[in-house]
Amino acid sequence: MPSELLLHLDNATVRRPEGIVLKNIHWTLNVGEQWAIVGPTGSGKSSLLDTVAGQLPVLSGHFHHPVGPLRDTVERVANDYRFDRRVASAAQFYQQRFNADTSEESPTVWEVLQNQVWPVGTHDPKSVPLPPPAYPEDWLSEVANQVNIAHLLQRKLTSLSNGETRRTLLARSLLRRPRILLLDNPFAGLDAESRQRLHQVLNTVAAEGISLVLATSLQEIPACMTHILSLAEGAIIESGPRTAQALQQPQAPVHALTNADRLRQWHTANKATFINAVKMQGVSVQYNGQKVLDNIDWTVRRGEKWAVLGPNGSGKSTLLSLITADNPQGYRNSFSLFDRRRGTGESIWDIKQKIGFVSPEVHLYFPRDLTVWKAVASGLFDTAGLFRKLTDAQTEHVSFVLNLLNIEDLRDKRFAQLSTGQQRWVLLARALVKNPPLLILDEPCQGLDPEHTLQFRDLVDELCQTSDRTLLYVSHYADDIPRCVTQVLQLAAGRGQIKPYPY
């Protein structure tokens, strides 16, 4: 009995404003098939999902979808809040999640899922009529339980962890009962338990008859996937049923990360003068009576290399927000940064000048219209844009970092034109551009393919060879943690435990 055709791309070529992103694509999705899309950073995985969702037009060739209009049958799970301008506006600044006052303006998870979000600045809700809730409460409850967010429905959106946000966005798509569900790197940022839970959810969804098309890595292919499509440079390298051979990871070529001259220049600049980068004594943070951090005692000395580990929601982001001076509750606690007690006259910018920082949230809210060169240069001033003219020395240093990370060829492209993985690589360069004495890397390899992940891990090891470089590194994958790390702060339910690393 022939398979029922859902989608078919016939010799399709697709372009974005910056050029061709997919070429000569022949691919068919039939009922009962579940496809994993794999490939290196920038290979076209996200572009293929955008095409299937009807968000990118086919320049030549044909796109057949006999099941009906794409808007009625295909659902692309959002990666962030930009799916709705009201929600995006309400969650405009990631620091809001750490500020109990401004976060009150954020909608709840229930309001987002039920399309009950008022425009930002609404003082009288009665003046802005909203439609009835989008879904019956029993259906919302069923989906919320399925993805384990039932306990989050009355939480403010800006108070969610990265993993909680991803589960909320998945629930939003499942509520629409799509025929085809598209997911782009859904396991990124999730702890081991959350990844396992998502695997189970996707297996259940597939068993219920929804066809999944999932851009992911070879290491995170759910058991329900029946087929694999491999992309490289916008072209299909291999496509067919899932087999043991298809799951083999090819050996990545070894590329030089830095040359000796660049590395020496990097190590001899910006010598650190502090004794302790961080010193916390009984630090606690709570929101609405619930403790997020509970009596943390922790000292990070100059030159130490730490991993900060813990499941989603354990307090890692809040802890880092105290160190980066983004959390106003820092003034309520006893701790010092760079040998200076918080609240004794130092400015936020004085603190940030000593820190190179990257996180999934920085990525989420970073301006998409900046060129890569300006995006990296903005790291010199800790701004979300470049608002001043650089000196010749600063200009030269930005070019140095672009070359250091082998992204010089991207310098004139807009951030929005890059793949998710390329965007992450640019933000890594932005974090390094000041050659800061303290590097805070919160899941820096999220969105990178295995080769780039290993490259960055090895690069961090090279950059941290000096005793002046202090490192705080967050990851949910043990293989991502640089070899230079010797200590761990393990968080669980807001409590901290210090351990040597590796265990």
- Looking at residue 311, the DSSP 8-state letter turns out to be -
pLDDT on residue 120: 67
Kindly report each contact of residues 467-470 with a partner whose C-beta sits within 8 Å and lies 24 or more positions away, as own/partner.
467/302, 467/303, 468/267, 468/270, 468/271, 468/272, 468/302, 468/303, 468/437, 469/272, 469/303, 469/437, 469/439, 470/272, 470/277, 470/300, 470/301, 470/302, 470/303, 470/304, 470/305, 470/437, 470/438, 470/439
Helix axes 420-432, 392-404, angle to 10 degrees: 130
Q: Which residues of 119-135 are buried (b: 16+ CB within 10 A; e: fewer)?
A: ebeeeeeeeeeeeeeeb
Is the per-residue pLDDT at 253 higher than 60?
no
Kindly report each contact of residues 175-178 with a partner whose C-beta sits within 8 Å and lies 24 or more positions away, as own/partner.
175/113, 175/134, 175/135, 175/139, 175/140, 175/143, 176/75, 178/73, 178/74, 178/75, 178/210
Question: Over the stretch 86-134, which tens digit does the pLDDT of each residue have?
Answer: 777 666 545 555 555 545 567 899 999 999 987 766 667 677 788 899 9
pLDDT on residue 92: 56
Question: Over the stretch 31-76, which tens digit does the pLDDT of each residue have?
Answer: 999 999 999 888 899 999 999 999 999 999 999 999 889 989 999 9
Question: Over the stretch 345-400, which tens digit does the pLDDT of each residue have?
Answer: 778 888 998 999 998 778 877 888 899 999 999 999 888 788 888 898 889 889 98
pTM to 2 decimal places: 0.81
How large a percentage of the chain has pLDDT more than 70? 89
pLDDT on residue 464: 86
pLDDT category at 445 given cuts 50, 70, 90 is confident
DSSP labels for 173-233?
Answer: HHTT--SEEEEESTTTT--HHHHHHHHHHHHHHHHTTPEEEEE--GGG--TT--EEEEEET
Residue 292, SS3 per DSSP: strand
Q: Which residues of 209-232 are buried (b: 16+ CB within 10 A; e: fewer)?
A: ebbbbbbbbbebbbebbebbbbbe
CB 164 within 8 A of CB 137: no
Average pLDDT value for residue range 261-275? 70
Cα 345 to chain centroid distance, Å, stands at: 33
Question: Over the stretch 159-204, which tens digit does the pLDDT of each residue have?
Answer: 777 678 888 999 999 999 999 999 998 888 788 888 888 898 899 8
The pLDDT mean for the chain works out to: 85
CB 471 within 8 A of CB 306: yes
Of residues 145 and 453, more confidence is placed in: 145
pLDDT category at 460 given cuts 50, 70, 90 is confident
User: What residues pair up with 64 in beta bridges, in sequence order?
Assistant: 8
pLDDT on residue 82: 72
Question: Over the stretch 302-330, which tens digit does the pLDDT of each residue have?
Answer: 999 999 999 888 889 889 999 998 888 87
CB 109 within 8 A of CB 166: no
Q: Domains (ranges, CATH) in the chain?
A: 5-241 (3.40.50.300)
Residue with tokens 């891990």: 457
CB 33 within 8 A of CB 4: no
Residue with tokens 């339910």: 493
Question: Over the stretch 123-161, which tens digit does the pLDDT of each residue have?
Answer: 676 777 888 999 999 999 999 998 888 999 998 887 777
pLDDT category at 1 given cuts 50, 70, 90 is very low
pLDDT on residue 18: 74
Q: Which two tokens stand for residue 346?
A: 């130092």
pLDDT on residue 254: 46
DSSP labels for 380-415?
Answer: GTT-SS--SPPPHHHHHHHHHHHHHTT-GGGTTSBG
